[in-house]
Structures are given as structure tokens and as C-alpha cells.
Amino acid sequence: MRSEGAILDISHLHVTFATDSGDVPAVRDLSLRVVAGEVLAIVGESGSGKSVTARSILGLLPETATRSGAVVLAGTDVLTASSARLRAMRGADVSMVFQEPSTALNPVYTVGFQIVEGLRAHNPRTSRKELKARAVAAMEQVGIPDAASRYDYYPHQFSGGQKQRIVIAMALALGAELIVADEPTTALDVTVQAEILDLLRDLRDRTGTAIVLITHNMGVVADLADRVAVMYRGEVVEVADVATLFAAPQADYTRRLLAAVPRLSVTEVDGISTGASSGEPLREVSVADPVVVSRGLQVVFPGGIGKPDFHAVRGVDFSIARGEVLGLVGESGSGKTTIGRTLAGLTPAAGGSLTVFGHEMVGFKERAFRPLRKQIGFVFQDPAASFNPRLTIGECVAEPLVVHRPEVGATARAARVRELLEAVELPTSYADRYPHELSGGQRQRCSLARGIALDPELLIADEPTSALDVSVQATVLELFTQLQQRFGFAALFISHDLAVVDMLADRIGVLFHGRLVEHGTSEQVLRDPRHDYTKRLIASLPVPDPAEQAGRRELARTLRQQA
């Protein structure tokens, strides 16, 4: 049944979901082909049908989905294949990198066991020793440090970006001829993202593996893709080779999508063109009235029996004034999220000094800090993991009101939820849906709505736009700016996207291995970086221009090799 030369042939695919509110069409009349060694990127806004298309390729749609058309892979129509045939195909013929690693990994099994599980299913006679060796090799291939010892670690012992790398290792382990990568670099900092893209490119070049890349990052598209399909409200509105799409987009939606991409302006780093600050004027903030003051902050995680302690944050100094936004950037595992959680009292500080609203967090007592929690909003990195799957979206968004303002009645809470959903540009009807019924980007917007529910004086935003397409990201960033200027809250904005941080932050701190290696205004850090790691970060940021990105890719490789 396979078309000549095609690894994947999708013909007139329709997918509709049955909901309590009626049928919802997710994909309409989609037709696409992918040949060996080709990278096809599928882009579009959250809810456009990208992930539904990806899941259709592996036969992973739920029973509530009605499908028609054909999805032919390895000579088999996935839509009509038996369960046994699908099990044989998954991993061997096609593998998938899921969008949210926290939900893709089982928290009660070690990561090594989970990689071996797939290998064993297709190689039942292979020895345990050989399976472990192949799993460790897959972990090393995606850049997990000390892979042999971390083979026995559990998912919670890895950072968000490291968990994403584990998921990619699982997809690569069996050598499938087609990899479906659903936002494979969402949780990765730009340096690791560049390495993963190099890895996927090398895999494609060496083995002829085809890749279907689902992403909202147009820089990643420019870096890796051969062709691009643009989806809007379930339909493909444009398909073109990558150079043509960026140079001369035909569809109005494609032009709007490209116009919304945040970019750093151009400067020179060691004589080579890279991105840098746009030079926007800073807001006036009162440094004499700090909300957060950190001096020599230390955060240490116990290593357990026979394992050394892990020093996640090492002697970090910073402050955040009222009305100020501090951007925190750095690679996965550098301590960004740990600092955010420590500010909120979710992770204990081990040494130094950290005051939040004048309250010392080193050795703090929960009872004394509890009244201050309602002054802190938190937008978590992974909304799927931070939402209770048994609660509706309305109930999830209303949780801070229920916990901290019990005097607010049900009617007033419902009105506030509607106001918050409208603020993040979601229909108020979504209040009655459950988290699994929303796309990743839609859940991220709901997470932002919950974070601002109490009008906090300090907002900790941990990768709040990582799962958003660029058009919605632009809207959310504008909303964030408006809310911050209106209410004057202090904010710690954690991100691996330097262009986003440049747009929002008054000052930027660069973390590397738990240490603050650079700190200053956006202009100072991004236009005149001093530390080699900062230079690598800037050079590794992909730009939405295939020709320019090819040059930047070589620069990033050179700087990584020099490190």
C-alpha cells in the first residue's frame, strides 16, 4: 500500500472528538507524504491539530475519536490495523517523542527500566546485560551525564530538560525508520536544544530515518526541516519547502505566524554575528524596596544511600524589587527551577540567606510562612503535572481562591474564573473541560490564569510560554506585561528563550552549574556578554531564517567545542 518512496502516506484524514458539548472536529481532510531521510515540520497554533495528527500516525487516539481516511505506514493502514499489529509497529517502524516528558515517564520505575522495557518487547531473547548496555548508550547519545550510574535514577531525580532527553532516548533506542517528535525541544535550553537538533540531523543523515517534527518554534523549523506544513483550525493551509516558506509565505496565517516570532537584534560576539538585546528602555523600579534578596544562597539535595549530595545552587546573589522582572536563564539542571521553588517555600534552602517579603527562608517554618503564600503566584513548567486530572479546568484555576480566600463564594469564584480565562484568551466554556481535553498550549494558558488568580505581589513564572505557539506566546507575553505594569508585582521569569526574556526582563541572570556567572541589564548581558557560557547561549538560539541559521549552527558548534 505504500506510495513509491514514501515512509508515511496520509490521505484525507479526518478526526473528530465526541465531547459532552457535541462533536469537535480536530483534523479536516489532511493529506501529507514523508519520504525516507526527510524532515517534515508541522507548525500551527495550539489546538490546530498538530498533536492529534502525530498521535494518528501511531494509532494512539482515544476511543472518543472518530477517524476516516488513511494513514499508511510500513505498508499498513494504521487506522484499520489490529492492536497486535500496532504493538509490533510501535518502536520498530515508528517511535514517538511525546510533548510532556513528566506524563510520558512512569514515576514508579527507573528511567533505565523504562528504556529497556521497549527494547525487551522487541528483543525478548536479548540478555539483560546487553539490554542495559543499549539503554545506557541511548542515554549517552542524548547527552545524559554519567549515564551508567543515572540509569537507576527515577524521573523525579532529573530536571525537566533531562527528562525530555530521556524520552528522546527511548524513541531512538530501537532504530525506527520514522520518528514522530511532538515538541521534542520544548523543555530544553538553547544549548542542549542545538545538540539535540544536531543529533536528530545526524541520525537522519546516517540512517535515512524520516522525522515528522511537531513544533511551534520557527527557529527549530529553520534549523532542521526540509519541508513545512502549516495547520490552522485542523486544516493544512500551506505546504512548502523550508526556504520558500520563510522567504515567500503564501497563506495569511503563515505570514501572521512568522511575524509573531520574537527575535533578538544583531550584534557581534568575538567578531561573529549573534543575537542580542533589542535595546528597549527599562522601566523605573525602586531598588530600595526589594521583595526578594538572596545572598550566598545554597540549595542541596541529599544523594541518598551511597550517593553524594547534589549542590543545585551554589552561592547565588540577586534581588528583585517591587515592579521589577528578573529573567533567569541557563541550561537544564543549572538551578533555575530550584531557585523559583525555593522562593515559594517549596524547596528548602540549605545555606546563605534568602528573604522573601522580609521573611528568612533558610530554616523557615511552614506555619510562619503560610500567610505569605497568598502573595506569591506560581506558573509551573509542566501544566499537565501541576493540574489535578480529576478536577475541571474551572476548579483548577479556582484552587488558589479556595485555599487562600475561603470567604469568596462559589458564584464570585466562577465569575473570577471566567474573567481569568478571558484574560488568557480561552473560551469561558473551557471551565467545564478537564485538563486532558486541552492541548499543551491551552493548559499552559490555564496555568498562567491560575498563577494570577490572587493578584500576587510576586509571580514566579517557570517557562510559562514554553508550550505556546508563537502567535499565542505573543499574546500571553503582552498580557504578562500589561498585568505586571497594572499591578506592579515583582516577577522571576525563568526561561530558556533569550528573545522572550529580552522582551520582558529589566535584568537578566545567567546560571551555569548552579552558579550565577553573569548578571545585569538585558543590554549588558545580551549585547556585551562577558562569560563564555553566555556567548554559547546566544549563539545557540535558533533564528527563523534558514540561511542565517545555517551559519549560526556552525558558530554554536565551534563555541561548544571550545568549551
CATH number of residue 552's parent domain: 3.40.50.300
Report the pLDDT value the prediction gives residue 17, as an integer from 0 to 100: 92
Buried b (16+ CB within 10 A) or exposed e, 163-191: bbbbbbbbbbbbebbbbbbbbbbbbbbbb
Quickly count: other Cβ atoms within 10 Å of residue 120's Cβ: 15
Residues 4, 33 contacting (CB under 8 angstroms): no
In whole angstroms, give the CA distance from residue 410 to residue 390: 19
Is 1 part of any domain?
no
Q: How is residue 408 annotated by DSSP? A: S
Is 266 part of any domain?
no
| Residue 365 and residue 220 share a domain | no
In whole angstroms, give the CA distance from residue 234 to residue 231: 6
User: Within 13 Å and on the Cβ side, how many CA atoms surround 29?
Assistant: 2
3-state class of 383 per DSSP?
A: helix
Helix, strand, coil % in the chain, rounded to nearest 5: 40, 25, 30
| Residue 364 and residue 474 share a domain | yes
Domain count, the chain: 2
Pairing mode, strands 227-232 and 76-77: unpaired
In whole angstroms, give the CA distance from residue 441 to residue 467: 5
Report the pLDDT value the prediction gives residue 187, as an integer from 0 to 100: 64
Is 379 part of any domain?
yes
| Neighbouring residues of 210: CB distance < 8 A, sequence distance ≥ 6 | 7, 8, 34, 35, 36, 37, 38, 39, 40, 177, 178, 179, 204
In whole angstroms, give the CA distance from residue 379 to residue 451: 5
Q: Is residue 272's pLDDT more than 90?
A: no
| Residue 393 and residue 490 share a domain | yes
| Residue 552 and residue 452 share a domain | yes
Domain's final residue, options 259, 276, 298: 259
Domain's final residue, options 259, 276, 305: 259
In whole angstroms, give the CA distance from residue 55 to residue 61: 6
Distance of CA 447 to the CA centre of its chain: 14
- Residue 183 backbone dihedrals phi, psi, to 5 degrees: 50, 60
Q: Is residue 557's pLDDT more than 80?
A: no
Confidence of residue 288 (pLDDT cuts 50, 70, 90): low
Q: Is residue 279's pLDDT more than 70?
A: no
Least confident of 140-144, 269-273, 307-311: 269-273
Q: Which three cell numbers stand for residue 455?
A: 493578584
In whole angstroms, give the CA distance from residue 70 to residue 24: 20
3-state class of 538 per DSSP?
A: helix
Q: Comparing C-alpha atoms, which of 495, 9, 440 is closest to residue 184?
A: 440
Task: Please name the residue ranges forming H helices in 70-189.
Answer: 83-89, 101-104, 111-122, 128-141, 147-150, 160-172
Name, of 83-92, 296-305, 408-417, the range with top average pLDDT.
408-417
What mean pLDDT do residues 507-533 have? 92
**Per-residue pLDDT tens for 460-511?**
999 887 767 777 777 778 878 888 888 889 999 998 888 889 888 999 999 9
| Residue 318 and residue 205 share a domain | no
In whole angstroms, give the CA distance from residue 111 to residue 116: 9
Question: Which is higher by pLDDT, 248 or 265?
Answer: 248
What mean pLDDT do residues 204-223 have? 90
Least confident of 242-246, 411-415, 510-514, 547-551: 547-551
| Residue 383 and residue 342 share a domain | yes
As beta bridge partners, residue 359 has 356
Q: Which three cell numbers stand for residue 271?
A: 567578531
Least confident of 249-258, 280-289, 421-430: 280-289
**Per-residue pLDDT tens for 158-179?**
877 788 889 988 988 888 899 9
Supply the Cα-derived Rg of the chain in whole angstroms.
Answer: 23
Q: Is residue 277's pLDDT more than 90?
A: no
Q: Comparing C-alpha atoms, which of 410, 462, 404 is closest to residue 431?
A: 410
Is 444 part of any domain?
yes
Report the pLDDT value the prediction gives residue 266, as an integer from 0 to 100: 45
Distance of CA 346 to the CA centre of its chain: 21
**Per-residue pLDDT tens for 396-453?**
999 999 999 999 999 999 999 999 999 888 899 999 999 988 877 788 889 989 998 9
As beta bridge partners, residue 201 has none
Q: Comparing C-alpha atoms, which of 446, 483, 551 is closest to residue 46?
A: 446
Is 278 part of any domain?
no
Is 276 part of any domain?
no
Confidence of residue 376 (pLDDT cuts 50, 70, 90): very high
Distance of CA 57 to the CA centre of its chain: 22
Is 375 part of any domain?
yes
Confidence of residue 367 (pLDDT cuts 50, 70, 90): confident
Mean pLDDT, the chain, whole residue set:
87
Q: Which domain holds residue 234?
A: 6-259
Report the pLDDT value the prediction gives residue 461, as an integer from 0 to 100: 94
| Residue 310 and residue 254 share a domain | no
**Per-residue pLDDT tens for 40-60?**
999 988 788 998 999 999 999
| Residue 308 and residue 245 share a domain | no
